[in-house]
Amino acid sequence: MEPASNATVYIVDDDAEVREALAWLLRSRRVFSEAYASAEAFELMLAERAASGLSQRQPCCLLLDVRMPGMSGLALFDKMVERGDTAAIPVIFLTGHADVPTAVATVKRGAFDFCEKPFSDNQLVDRVQEALALSARHLQACRARHELQDRLAELTERERDVMRLVVEGLPNKLIADQLDISVRTVEVHRARVFDKMQVKSAVELANLLRS
- Cβ within 8 Å of residue 200, ≥6 positions away: 194
| Residue 109's pLDDT band (cuts 50, 70, 90) | confident
pLDDT in tens, 48-87: 888 876 666 789 999 999 889 999 999 999 999 999 999 9
14 within 8 A of 38, measured Cβ to Cβ: yes
Residue 134 belongs to what domain range? 8-142
Burial state string for 49-59 with b = 16 or more CB within 10 A and e = fewer than 16: eeeeeeebeeb
Assess whether 126 and 182 both reside in one domain: no
Domain boundary among 120, 142, 164: 142
Distance CA 18, CA 121 (A): 13
Query: pTM of the entire structure?
Result: 0.78
Domain boundary among 142, 175, 200: 142
Per-residue confidence (pLDDT) for residue 56, from 0 to 100:
66
Domain boundary among 112, 142, 172: 142
Residue 150 inside a domain? The answer is no
